[in-house]
Structure 1
């Protein structure tokens, strides 16, 4: 299956790229510059493409992103610290981001005669992001079947959509993913901050998977506090 992987440079999408390279035919990686807070992750996506020997397509959609206001990822809004599943993390939503990116990725895949577009959305995303849920994946596939009818058949491959990030870490390890060569932190410093929702989720995932985390964090122990506080709130 000739597959184009949507790769942000994060742990999930880099793991997916290695999975596809091992199990299918990886034709390339596609990343998007939508005016996000930093571009460190795209550098890691570029490194992944070079490592796997495929093309890296970087699509500039900053003019679109400039209108998708109100997110901590695109505006001058503080990135919240804490557990990934807290209500405060909804400030990181960029409206319709995945739908926009996938529509472009499907166009590129169809033009290149690829069989599939792979995306690394996973079970932990469901609470916050509506365009990471199984219903969205199914609906998007149905829409693309109509949009490309008679021209191409492109499958939306989302192998992580029902599993946890810890399971992604385990799957990535099986495929030799160099986890240190991925970037998750929303804040974009020299090292991962260790405090934002995606850093907490990343650190917790390695712990749950029982796999050593090679990531350098500015605050490597904050995740324990965030997980504990979230558990208390969940019990109330």
Structure 2
């Protein structure tokens, strides 16, 4: 009989917005790591619904650690239709430039806090579901941004700290993300992608439109309800 103890899994922090991409990231991270879920309430219009879905995914994945961070300053700063009461969330895609749903440097702030928590709990990886194929055009979802941020993490943490930001979905289409999630038994029925705070997803905002199209292309029915 072997007296060697089984090797303990390392922690991975998963930025879990409650959307389909972050849920697939959680499924991937669970293959190799102990999970630490990080969720942000930043004044987004769908905040209440996203938080409800987050706790449902806590019950599903049963992470070893989880943290809900309140970031009220995004609403104070404004500049995004996701957070500002003065700006309407558009229906469908905005054809030119960065869409109004872009929250200024949101992923930069999110990742900074994720790195701080990862350093405290000894996590080696941070998973974030950014995507550069079927996405709304946010500049902080691009591969070059993540590469630069990884360099900043290396320069700005303790010498013994080894943290890498992982973006396993960065080169996948939304259809491929749905297919991967189905393969991994990702609980898509617990997720929420709509930008609006409604009982049923609106089906009209850019996020709903991209999601619906992805499930359609994958030949699978989206399990959440739409208005």
How high is the TM-score relative to the length of structure 2? 0.89
- Stretches of structure 2 that go unaligned for 5 or more consecutive residues are 1-9
Residue matched to 2:36:
28
**What RMSD over aligned residues (CA atoms) do the two structures have, in Å?**
1.6
> Of the candidates 62, 65, 68, which is equivalent to residue 58 of structure 1?
68
Residue matched to 2:180:
171
Q: Residue 27 of structure 1 contacts residue 114 of structure 1 at CA under 8 Å; is this kept in 2? A: no
Q: Residue 174 of structure 2 contacts residue 214 of structure 2 at CA under 8 Å; is this kept in 1? A: yes
CA distance in 1, matches of 2:136, 2:193: 18
Number of equivalences:
215
Q: Secondary structure at the match of 1:36?
A: coil
Residue matched to 1:232:
none
- Does residue 80 of structure 1 match 2:80? no
Q: Residue 136 of structure 2 contacts residue 206 of structure 2 at CA under 8 Å; is this kept in 1? A: no
Higher helix share: 1
How high is the TM-score relative to the length of structure 1? 0.86
Q: Secondary structure at the match of 2:119?
A: helix
User: 1:133-152 alignment to 2 at 5 Å?
Assistant: 133-152=142-161
CA distance in 2, matches of 1:128, 1:108: 28
- Stretches of structure 1 that go unaligned for 5 or more consecutive residues are 219-236
C-alpha displacement of 1:124: 3.6
Deviations 1:150-200 (A, max 9, x none): 141101011011111111111100100121110000012000000010000
User: 1:109-128 alignment to 2 at 5 Å?
Assistant: 109-124=118-133, 128=137
C-alpha displacement of 1:123: 2.0
Q: Residue 123 of structure 1 contacts residue 161 of structure 1 at CA under 8 Å; is this kept in 2? A: yes
